[in-house]
Structure 1
Amino acid sequence: MEVITMELIKADVTVVGGGIAGLCAAIAAARQGLQVSLINDRPVLGGNASSEVRVHINGSAYLGNSPSYYAREGGLVEELKLRIFHYNPLYNKKLMLSLSDTVLLDMVYDEPNISLFLNTCVHETGMENGRIKWVEGLQLASERKFRFESRTYIDCSGDGVVGYQAGALFRWGREARHEYKEDLAPEVADHYTMGDTILFQARDVEYSVPYKRPGFAYDITKLDFFDSIRKGLNHRAFPRKINGLGGLWWLEYGGHMDVIANNEDIALELRKLVYGIWDYIKNSGEFDDVDNLILDYVCPIPGKRESRRFIGDHMLSQNDLTTKPHFEDAVSVGGWYMDLHAAKGIYDEGPATAWNFVPGLYNIPFRSLFSQNIPNLMFAGRNISATHVAFGSTRVMATCGCMGQAVGTAASLCMKYEIDPAAIVESHMGELQALLLRDGQTIVGLQEELDPYFAEGLQIRASSQRSYANPHPTEALPLEKGLCLVLPIQTSVAESVQIKIKNISEHSETLHVKLFGGERKENYIPSCELKDYRLAIAAGHDDWITLDMGCEKPADDKIYIVLEGTARLAVYVNEEKITGAVSFHYKPEAPSRLKKFNQSICFKDLLPPQNMYNPENVVNGYSRPYGLPNGWISERTEGREWLELSFASPKSLDEIHLVFNSQLDLEHFDDPIESLIQDYDVILTFEDGTEREIVIRGNYLTLNKHKVDAQGVTRIRFDFCATFGSPYHEVFAVKLFAPTTISEGQVKSQ
């Protein structure tokens, strides 16, 4: 009998797990120049986002409802989402998901520093002096066995297979309320986790297809929970339309069991439920238009939510998410609600989940991403150092991907300085944060200061600049329910602004005006009342009025103007999206629950005038709205616009990065993002008067990097030719990088 020979694979870092966290970790490390082994036990990449499991990549934008408004993550997660949409515009409709697998594979194969091992199960981890020395993987189909050796290991396997085998300290289940002073935790600790779900796909084949329930499946009408789901109780409800149904997230099971040891039993139970529910949908007579539907796809494996959570130097808890303390070692963000599912899933008598409010973006510290007792082990994904309650927010895949980018980047510093992750916190956090920001990672409150080498004598001009106004109304919205207009303010005070009001009554109506300020720059939450007054609007009035503000600029740089009235009183709006100036429904019972209505309240003549979209904003160190909009916007145009940076003396220039507006208030998008700039030219002028041109056509990314490796540059000009539909050209940031021997770039915390 032939013996399988062990193949030795050496790399700088080994990443175990090819979900979104592991994918981002591997790509980040590879782009920093490391040789990476990426090991995945499935035939496709993406984990729960793959075509096998079919879950959307959700994150801090909380389905577009985040009180931080501009909350979608940047960095590799943003790139990944935009690439998936570019090649697979039907992804958000849960169709053609195999193309998404291809996009993820393409991103990995595009990195020459990554060696990918699919269908490879890590079954043993070797230790030496308390450190991971190697991990072994078996690739059954090819009958190959590998030993992976590297300096640093990153466990993104979900269940934490490497950390567990290495003896890393971990938690399982729910902590007691007193341990971290979490009021959402149970009084007494237990071993309950969140359960698993098997999703499925329904499809219309345009002719009648019968369905017979297989023998192993349940007749769900005889199960205890049947009446509850038929009536749509406890968040467990069938959608109105079944065609295209991508599964039922609440069809969950196993959190009261060991979801690892009982994996196969849980999967079987979920299959019994899936096929039984499809029998009910097809054959009960309670659903319309289901004759032509087939059960097109049933996931072969359950999507798992929770199992082991490792212990790092900081255990992220509920209060870290709600009070948002300052972390010197912040490396990524989260923002999904603390979404705590019922442990027994479909068999639980209580609600399927509890969506516990998180007040917008929060930072995640690096100390939660490496092991407390295994010095060369980092982790990202659902196995990070977080309590069960905090995990309810951090577990979603976009958040996991951002953590993956953080640890993948950190691995490069471990290699550079021959250190372990804990030493980065002590001596190299500024460098890690600078690398992450350079690559588009979102970290709340961190500012990339322009390198002094470029800043001295820099002049910035633009072809035009959008005025800070929205003066062209298209319709009037009644004010029987309050609306709120949020205006970022640059100046130390806000005196007045004009809005357009219509009174259709034959009598005078009262407009109730409330002014609020906020406390946190990343949020759109009215929290402190500044002024409250009423205005009489004459019968038949249909014109602009002046609102007195007389307020000092609040801590979050924004004035919240709440308008309340009656159904006979209306404020004018239009379809414009004005970066920074946001309109939403005002709910006094829950003012922090931002509810969009996808239109903008018209305003003009803000006093004092605000130079809000100055081209100089592109070098202010922010790459998205934070308090202020932080970007340059041209005037409305159908032609070209330009932005120009001129230096007082010739400069050596290694790279130029451009950050465009990709509508960060959206979680997902079914149409091209209109504000993205797709066609532009970069023109470098040198001290001898010669020029070099870089022509870009068909861009679809937010962050665009241009390696120029140029000396003697006196001017950089950007000619913007076309967007995906917006009449404005918007740039959040222009980042300039000198050769490393010259650069003095810094990161500053706000």
Structure 2
Amino acid sequence: MIKATAVDKRIPQTLDLAADLVVVGGGLSGVCCAITAARAGTNVILVQDRPVLGGNASSEVRLWVLGATSHMGNNNRWAREGGVINELLIENMYRNPEGNALIFDTVTLEKVVSEPNITLLLNTAVYDLEKDAEDADKITKVIAFCSQNSTRYELSAPLFCDASGDGILGFLAGAAFRMGAESSEEFGEKFAPTAEYGELLGHSMYFYSKDVGKPVSYVPPSFALDVTNKVPRFRSFNTQDFGCRLWWLEYGGRLDTVHDTETIKWELWKVIYGVWDYIKNSGEFPEAETLTLEWVGTIPGKRESRRFEGDYMLIQQDIVEQRAHYDDVAFGGWSIDLHPADGVFSEKPGCNQWHSKGIYGIPYRSYYSRNVKNLFLAGRIISASHVAFGSSRVMATSAHGGQAVGMAAKICAENNWLPADLARKENILILQNELLKNGQHIPGRTLKDQEDLVQIATVSVSSTLKLTELPEEGEPVPMEFATAQMIPVGKGKVPKITIHPYAAEALEVGVELRMCSRKDSHSPDVLLEKKTIALQKGRNCIQLDFDTQFSEPAYAFLTIQKHDKISFRLSQKRITGLLTVYNATNPAVSNYGKQEPTEDIGVDNFEFWVPLRRPKGKNLAFKLEGGIDCYDAENVRNGLQRPTNQPNAWVADFNDTDPMLTLSWPEVQELKRVELFFDTDYDHPAENVLIQQPENVMPFCVRDYQVLDERDEILFERKENYQTRNVIDFETPIKTSSLKIKLTHPSADSPAAMFEVRCY
């Protein structure tokens, strides 16, 4: 038994913990920061004030994770973020293709607790800190309290990261921050909002419904709003939308989005229960008779509050012009997505999205405080203007930046550097290379790894696919949209292209050869040649011969004008780095086929050419005279792990029954580690919740492989792989003069492909 004598006052149990890095905030940016740092050997304390990890992606909020892929609704091809966030999304897709938010909680939690270098503190809120007695610009300790175990924590470290969303650590530390929108004059941003539109994005709450198979009545609570009187867009509500498809259930942009959050939550509850009253009791939705309200969020998903100032502030022009920075360590690609401050009560559309022509780099200098010397920033609070924040705030982009911070913290800890020291031009390449090794794509950067033994090996393969044909299969499919086949071409002239349109009658149709004006981007905005071809009724065999000479490898777009009397047979073959795109619309991301600003707001005018989601997303059948050699084995050491201006992969021939890549050295090498990067289709968004995925393993991904030595002895074997990055650590170093990697084709329709192999 415990018997305590009466005292005047007690304090909670206090625990002192120390680490190399304390990360405050367990959303995806904090999670990816902590995992990245921990895997690199850094001791991390991860502090989360909620009972689950994931932040807005958790089962408490249930927002889907998105970033540069933008629901496949923009021209950012192969743009899903790499590294840990990619690993999480691919793992979730494998286990949870139905998009259950609770399962994603377990995926995220498992990844964190599996790391021995992470100490996880859930339900623990930071409320105070201490600074260095001799340097008031450095944090030495943060103080937090866990409501569940009534424990006070004092957490010490040389480095701290604020990934808390509202920036509680930066706020307590006195870090310079902003809240609200800059004027257009400050940074020359033409899209800076007016006072009428408002300066802050609000919070959102979601609900789920369930069909129970019998009539269900609903009596609303007394606080439910009459949405027919209060919500201008009340007619947009329907029984089919639930979860984060109701992203526009938003409020709070005219309030203090930090300290008024409880007020905002109550207003959103009033709206949600009023919405359900309207759906159940208005008589407008007879199909809702058997529906019940299954789940309503209890905390709002936050969009915007504080933004902290770093040594660089990302602005609109960085995004639109895709400006390169010497210290780029992450990328974004979501539209500049600003919302009216009045949210669901506004007469204006729920969002105002403007896309760039491709992904843009985010500099390292945006990821640390300019005045608190040992404070990193991650997530939506990074150094960005309000307009740029409209793009950089989304979760996959935030997580990608969190990974950069995690690796930066490891390098700073090793070298006894402060965050700003790493930003020096002579140091930043260290961080960029370490990120690239881990699969973190950085626009315009290629990995240069002097320790990689593959760079000094002779590379040979059992076969290489020559792109000559995608055969016709199935019935002809009508042209619903203008169609473009992306073809990876090298220097010189495009091979003659043969297509087989099916015409309902004799007619003419326009075809064009296009390319993108920006390297490594994929908006076909440059017209190279145009032809008009005559078609006869029935199947036609058309050979197209273009005169254009390409000065460097790029993607050419063979575009075919939309015509409702033309059909094409598609091909079942799916090959790495090969896509058919369409001048299609995707209203979910303000893509209506073409971006046409009606006034000068500093964004580009261009067409959207996007692929279709699988199972529809197939390639146009075509033939190339002489073929194209773009899948050479040298691609596995070119420093790129995804398609850019070329596929950047070695792909085996379809007819190769035993695909194999061999690395040979003139002398025996001692190998401790082998890393392989496979194709998990970076063009697919892999949303974590709500959207049901078409498969749980990407069709391009090599499932089975073996690694053998010079005596053909199996050193390692994996079955049923589904992840991008495969790391093989040998318990005892292997001594060999050659290494063989045997692959199995993923299917009869997708040949084995590999982006990269590295040996250490």
Normalised TM-score (structure 2): 0.90
Count of residues in Structure 1 that have an aligned counterpart in Structure 2: 717
- Which residue is 1:747 aligned to? none
Assess, with a 3 A threshold, how the Cα gap between structure 1 residues 455 and 263 changes in structure 2: closer, same or farther.
Answer: closer
Which residue of 590, 600, 617 maps to 2:619?
A: 600
- For residues 171 and 553 of structure 2, the distance between their equivalents in structure 1, rounded to whole angstroms, comes to 44
Secondary structure class of the residue paired with 2:469: coil
- Which residue is 1:744 aligned to? none
- For residues 509 and 198 of structure 2, the distance between their equivalents in structure 1, rounded to whole angstroms, comes to 55
- Which residue is 2:735 aligned to? 712
Q: State yes or no: 1:701 paired with 2:736.
A: no
Secondary structure class of the residue paired with 2:546: strand
Tell me if the contact between 1:518 and 1:528 (Cα under 8 Å) persists in the aligned partners.
yes
Moved over 6 A (4+): 188-191
- For residues 254 and 565 of structure 1, the distance between their equivalents in structure 2, rounded to whole angstroms, comes to 44
Q: Which moved more, 1:638-647 or 1:350-359?
A: 638-647
Secondary structure class of the residue paired with 1:446: coil
Aligned AA for 1:83? E
Tell me if the contact between 1:456 and 1:648 (Cα under 8 Å) persists in the aligned partners.
no
- Which residue is 1:13 aligned to? 21
- Which residue is 1:735 aligned to? 758
Instruction: Note the alpha carbon deviations across 1:615-657, whole angstroms, 9 max, x for none.
Output: 2221221100010111122233695432222223222223211
Q: How does 1:686-697 map to 2 (within 5 A)?
A: 689=711, 691-697=713-719
1:205: Cα distance to partner? Answer: 1.7
1:469: Cα distance to partner? Answer: 2.4
Assess, with a 3 A threshold, how the Cα gap between structure 1 residues 101 and 425 changes in structure 2: closer, same or farther.
Answer: same
- Which residue is 1:683 aligned to? 708
Aligned AA for 2:555? K
Assess, with a 3 A threshold, how the Cα gap between structure 1 residues 457 and 397 changes in structure 2: closer, same or farther.
Answer: closer
Name stretches of at least 5 consecutive residues in structure 2 with no aligned partner: 1-6, 585-592, 596-605, 687-692
Tell me if the contact between 1:332 and 1:403 (Cα under 8 Å) persists in the aligned partners.
yes
Which residue of 47, 54, 63 maps to 1:55?
A: 63
Instruction: Note the alpha carbon deviations across 1:153-189, whole angstroms, 9 max, x for none.
Output: 0000000000000000011111111111111103579
Assess, with a 3 A threshold, how the Cα gap between structure 1 residues 677 and 311 changes in structure 2: closer, same or farther.
Answer: same
Which residue of 54, 72, 76 maps to 1:64?
A: 72
Tell me if the contact between 2:523 and 2:609 (Cα under 8 Å) persists in the aligned partners.
yes
Assess, with a 3 A threshold, how the Cα gap between structure 1 residues 7 and 565 changes in structure 2: closer, same or farther.
Answer: closer
- For residues 640 and 722 of structure 1, the distance between their equivalents in structure 2, rounded to whole angstroms, comes to 8
Q: How does 1:599-748 map to 2 (within 5 A)?
A: 599-607=618-626, 609-636=627-654, 640-668=658-686, 669-672=693-696, 673-685=698-710, 689=711, 691-708=713-730, 710-721=733-744, 723=746, 726-736=749-759, 738=760
1:492: Cα distance to partner? Answer: 2.3
- Which residue is 1:432 aligned to? 431
- For residues 85 and 623 of structure 1, the distance between their equivalents in structure 2, rounded to whole angstroms, comes to 20
Assess, with a 3 A threshold, how the Cα gap between structure 1 residues 541 and 219 changes in structure 2: closer, same or farther.
Answer: closer
Secondary structure class of the residue paired with 1:289: helix
- For residues 722 and 636 of structure 1, the distance between their equivalents in structure 2, rounded to whole angstroms, comes to 8
Q: State yes or no: 1:573 paired with 2:598.
A: no
- For residues 665 and 694 of structure 1, the distance between their equivalents in structure 2, rounded to whole angstroms, comes to 30
Assess, with a 3 A threshold, how the Cα gap between structure 1 residues 457 and 127 changes in structure 2: closer, same or farther.
Answer: closer
Instruction: Note the alpha carbon deviations across 1:2-41, whole angstroms, 9 max, x for none.
Output: 4324321110000000000000010011011011010000
Aligned AA for 2:119? S
Assess, with a 3 A threshold, how the Cα gap between structure 1 residues 191 and 309 changes in structure 2: closer, same or farther.
Answer: farther
Assess, with a 3 A threshold, how the Cα gap between structure 1 residues 168 and 474 changes in structure 2: closer, same or farther.
Answer: same
1:529: Cα distance to partner? Answer: 1.8
Assess, with a 3 A threshold, how the Cα gap between structure 1 residues 87 and 567 changes in structure 2: closer, same or farther.
Answer: closer
Tell me if the contact between 2:312 and 2:383 (Cα under 8 Å) persists in the aligned partners.
yes
Tell me if the contact between 1:521 and 1:556 (Cα under 8 Å) persists in the aligned partners.
no
Tell me if the contact between 2:467 and 2:624 (Cα under 8 Å) persists in the aligned partners.
no
Assess, with a 3 A threshold, how the Cα gap between structure 1 residues 35 and 133 changes in structure 2: closer, same or farther.
Answer: same
Which residue of 367, 383, 387 maps to 2:365?
A: 367
- Which residue is 1:582 aligned to? 579
- Which residue is 2:601 aligned to? none
- For residues 674 and 478 of structure 1, the distance between their equivalents in structure 2, rounded to whole angstroms, comes to 25
Assess, with a 3 A threshold, how the Cα gap between structure 1 residues 247 and 540 changes in structure 2: closer, same or farther.
Answer: closer
Instruction: Note the alpha carbon deviations across 1:278-310, whole angstroms, 9 max, x for none.
Output: 111111111132122111111110111000000
- Percentage of matched positions with identical amino acids: 33
Aligned AA for 1:681? Q
Assess, with a 3 A threshold, how the Cα gap between structure 1 residues 690 and 83 changes in structure 2: closer, same or farther.
Answer: closer
- Which residue is 1:229 aligned to? 234
Secondary structure class of the residue paired with 1:210: coil
Aligned AA for 1:593? F
- Which residue is 2:221 aligned to? 214
Q: State yes or no: 1:104 paired with 2:108.
A: yes
- Which residue is 1:529 aligned to? 527
Assess, with a 3 A threshold, how the Cα gap between structure 1 residues 245 and 393 changes in structure 2: closer, same or farther.
Answer: closer
1:659: Cα distance to partner? Answer: 1.0
Tell me if the contact between 2:594 and 2:608 (Cα under 8 Å) persists in the aligned partners.
no
Q: Which moved more, 1:314-323 or 1:721-730?
A: 721-730
Instruction: Note the alpha carbon deviations across 1:207-253, whole angstroms, 9 max, x for none.
Output: 22211001122222332x24x321xxxxxx234625x6556211110
Secondary structure class of the residue paired with 1:275: helix
Secondary structure class of the residue paired with 1:165: helix
1:113: Cα distance to partner? Answer: 0.5
Assess, with a 3 A threshold, how the Cα gap between structure 1 residues 494 and 467 changes in structure 2: closer, same or farther.
Answer: closer
Q: How does 1:464-479 map to 2 (within 5 A)?
A: 465=465, 467-478=467-478
Tell me if the contact between 1:515 and 1:560 (Cα under 8 Å) persists in the aligned partners.
yes
Tell me if the contact between 1:196 and 1:304 (Cα under 8 Å) persists in the aligned partners.
yes
- Which residue is 1:149 aligned to? 156
Aligned AA for 1:346? V
Secondary structure class of the residue paired with 2:704: strand
Secondary structure class of the residue paired with 2:494: strand
Q: How does 1:285-324 map to 2 (within 5 A)?
A: 285-324=283-322
Aligned AA for 2:576? T
Secondary structure class of the residue paired with 2:518: coil
Tell me if the contact between 2:454 and 2:663 (Cα under 8 Å) persists in the aligned partners.
no
- For residues 336 and 301 of structure 1, the distance between their equivalents in structure 2, rounded to whole angstroms, comes to 25
- For residues 166 and 177 of structure 1, the distance between their equivalents in structure 2, rounded to whole angstroms, comes to 29
- For residues 140 and 355 of structure 1, the distance between their equivalents in structure 2, rounded to whole angstroms, comes to 40
Q: How does 1:82-481 map to 2 (within 5 A)?
A: 82-91=90-99, 95=100, 97-128=101-132, 129=135, 130-186=137-193, 192-223=199-230, 225-226=231-232, 228-230=233-235, 237-239=236-238, 241=240, 248-426=246-424, 427-449=426-448, 451=450, 453-463=453-463, 465=465, 467-478=467-478, 481=481
Secondary structure class of the residue paired with 1:304: coil
Tell me if the contact between 1:450 and 1:620 (Cα under 8 Å) persists in the aligned partners.
no
- For residues 562 and 458 of structure 1, the distance between their equivalents in structure 2, rounded to whole angstroms, comes to 40
Aligned AA for 1:101? D
- For residues 488 and 210 of structure 2, the distance between their equivalents in structure 1, rounded to whole angstroms, comes to 47
Secondary structure class of the residue paired with 2:144: strand
- For residues 304 and 624 of structure 2, the distance between their equivalents in structure 1, rounded to whole angstroms, comes to 53
Tell me if the contact between 1:192 and 1:257 (Cα under 8 Å) persists in the aligned partners.
no
Name stretches of at least 5 consecutive residues in structure 1 with no aligned partner: 231-236, 739-750
Tell me if the contact between 2:702 and 2:722 (Cα under 8 Å) persists in the aligned partners.
yes
Q: State yes or no: 1:564 paired with 2:564.
A: no
Instruction: Note the alpha carbon deviations across 1:666-710, whole angstroms, 9 max, x for none.
Output: 11234122221222211123xxx4734211122221111111363
- For residues 220 and 151 of structure 1, the distance between their equivalents in structure 2, rounded to whole angstroms, comes to 52
Tell me if the contact between 1:67 and 1:359 (Cα under 8 Å) persists in the aligned partners.
yes
1:57: Cα distance to partner? Answer: 0.8
